[in-house]
Amino acid sequence: MPSLKGKDIISALELTREEVEHLYKVADELKQAFEAFGSLDIARNKVMITAFFEPSTRTKISFQMAMARLGGTVVDFLASVSSLAKGETDYDTIRILDGYDPDIIVIRQKKPGFPAEVAPWVKAPIINAGDGYNEHPTQALLDVYTISRELGKVDGVHIAIMGDLKYGRTPSSLSYLLSKFNDITIYYVAPEPLQIREEVIKNVEGKVRYELLNDIRELRGKPVDVIYVTRLQKERLPDPSMYESLKGSYRIDAALLKELFGDNIPIIMHPLPRTWELDTSVDPLPQAKYFQQAKNGLYVRAALIKEILGL
Ligand code: ASP
């Protein structure tokens, strides 16, 4: 059986299909256990630090809820009221947090590559909860879990990943994780300035089939099982005027989905938060899976914590 005990989770590229499938089995078991018993006590005496240097709602709360439901303790580092304000560096901050001997540190950072940079000298296993535009491996884990549980398979899936593929970190990690499966087709749908980064294509080349498209309407007549929508990453654009020019340049609503796909609307996913790209008219459709997707983060992250702690 694959073991993640004591491992860092830095990139979705490092995970194997066996590890992922094992995690999903554990996630299913924990979901059932949480529903039956509320909380467990298998992580008693274990402590997880959440160190988020960038804003978060779902990732942070689902990690914290997961540890709470496993019976462990969470200590939260709150960047906004920390010694960062006194000029302490984020490197020193991590060194100090690690010095208190936590069992796991979950890090979100705006510097791409930060978790990989500190991992060699941090004693605790590190989980990358998003590093700038680079990667968000645990989001990919819950995304592929959602696909697998909603469609009953991952192999053979046709997915359109749409929106800000250049400055977003979820399209890269999702592509990497899907590349571990067989016969995957990815349509990257984005206006030219937001198309998927070169390095992502390099990393999936030969492992998935892909097409670059500029508009969702180009999907008409193609087989599509999933549309994964992402927001324009306003905070990461090199020039603020780009936001105004790209705002509204891609968007789905219920009427457009009906027009393009008729009775065969694909499942709709989004890592959230949404802004203008995913209209609320999609919410009542049975294919809208983004709230379930966010909830799945709890089970998948609980499974990851359990496996890293070797419980
Ligand atoms: N919540 C996701 C992330 O942290 C998606 C987003 O912010 O647009 O990357």
Phi, psi of 211 (to 5 degrees): -140, 140
Split into its structural domains, the chain has a count of 2
Going from the Cα of 263 to the center of ligand 1, the distance in angstroms, rounded, reads 30
Whole-number mean pLDDT of the chain? Answer: 97
Strand ranges (DSSP E) for the chain? 47-52, 73-78, 104-109, 126-131, 158-162, 185-189, 209-213, 226-229, 267-269
Task: Report whether pLDDT(224) > 90.
Answer: yes
Q: Which residues constitute the domain of residue 143?
A: 137-294
HSE-CB of 250 using CA atoms within 13 angstroms: 26
Report pLDDT for 269. 99
Question: Are 130 and 141 in the same domain?
Answer: no
Question: Are 162 and 266 in the same domain?
Answer: yes
To test the ligand 1 pocket, which listed residue (134, 169, 237) has its Cβ within 8 A of the most ligand atoms? 169
- 130 CB under 6 A from ligand 1? yes
Report pLDDT for 67. 98
Question: Are 163 and 289 in the same domain?
Answer: yes
Question: Are 94 and 214 in the same domain?
Answer: no
DSSP state at residue 197 = P
Percent of the chain with pLDDT over 70: 100
Residue 103 lies in a domain: yes
Question: Are 75 and 158 in the same domain?
Answer: no
CATH value at residue 130: 3.40.50.1370
Residue 1 lies in a domain: no
Inter-axis angle of helices 137-151 and 290-309, to 10 degrees?
120
Report pLDDT for 80. 87
What's the alpha-carbon Rg for the chain, to the nearest Å? 19
Q: Point out the residues that are catalytic.
A: 58-59, 86, 108, 136
**Average pLDDT, integer, range 193-218:** 98
Which residue's CA lies nearest to atom 4 of ligand 1?
130
- 289 CB under 6 A from ligand 1? no
Q: pLDDT tens digit string along 19-77?
A: 999 999 999 999 999 999 999 999 999 999 999 999 999 999 999 999 999 999 999 99
Residue 214 lies in a domain: yes
- 266 CB under 6 A from ligand 1? no
Going from the Cα of 127 to the center of ligand 1, the distance in angstroms, rounded, reads 16
**Average pLDDT, integer, range 253-257:** 98
Question: Are 143 and 190 in the same domain?
Answer: yes
Report pLDDT for 119. 97
Task: Report whether pLDDT(1) > 80.
Answer: no
Question: Are 286 and 155 in the same domain?
Answer: yes
- 108 CB under 6 A from ligand 1? no
The span from the first CA to the last CA of the chain, in angstroms, equals 14
- 231 CB under 6 A from ligand 1? yes
- 270 CB under 6 A from ligand 1? no
Residue 109 lies in a domain: yes
Lowest-pLDDT range of 81-85, 184-188, 275-279, 303-307: 81-85
Report pLDDT for 2. 79
Question: Are 103 and 184 in the same domain?
Answer: no
Phi, psi of 60 (to 5 degrees): -65, -50
Report pLDDT for 10. 98
Residue 101 lies in a domain: yes
Question: Are 70 and 117 in the same domain?
Answer: yes
Question: Are 149 and 290 in the same domain?
Answer: yes
**Atom of ligand 1 minimally distant from the CA of 57:** 1
Residue 6 lies in a domain: no
Going from the Cα of 216 to the center of ligand 1, the distance in angstroms, rounded, reads 21
To test the ligand 1 pocket, which listed residue (60, 139, 173) has its Cβ within 8 A of the most ligand atoms? 139
Binned at pLDDT 50, 70 and 90, residue 81 comes out as confident
Going from the Cα of 100 to the center of ligand 1, the distance in angstroms, rounded, reads 29
Question: Are 175 and 130 in the same domain?
Answer: no
Total residues belonging to the chain: 311
Question: Are 270 and 147 in the same domain?
Answer: yes
Report pLDDT for 54. 93
Report pLDDT for 180. 98
Q: pLDDT tens digit string along 169-205?
A: 999 999 999 999 999 999 999 999 999 999 999 999 9
How far does Cα 21 stand from its chain's mean position? Answer: 16
Q: Position of tokens 């250049």?
A: 166
**Average pLDDT, integer, range 270-289:** 98
Residue 222 lies in a domain: yes
Going from the Cα of 56 to the center of ligand 1, the distance in angstroms, rounded, reads 8
Task: Report whether pLDDT(265) > 90.
Answer: yes
- 297 CB under 6 A from ligand 1? no
**Atom of ligand 1 minimally distant from the CA of 168:** 9
